[in-house]
Amino acid sequence: MSIINRQLCLKTRPEGLVQRENFDLVEEVVSELKDGEVLLRVLHMSMDRPIACGCATSRNTCHRWRSVR
């Protein structure tokens, strides 16, 4: 059975409040772990106001938040 990694990637910079349309959900199969690696499961994620506001001005266009289902 394969483990699926879900990534929430920033698609477009928000103008004003962050919207669902600003993100893409990308899914890929998790490769087998190597020595020294660990697999974590994210149960809760939040986007606080300073982070949400910074998305509109950040030069980094590929913010990735990963969770495994």
Domains of the chain, residue spans: 4-68
pTM over 0.75: no
Q: Is 55 helix (H, G, I), strand (E, B) or coil?
A: helix
CA distance 22 to 13: 7
> Token match 């990735």: residue?
64
Interval 13-59: pLDDT, tens? 888 888 899 999 999 999 999 999 998 888 887 766 655 555 555 55
Residue 25: strand, helix, or coil = strand
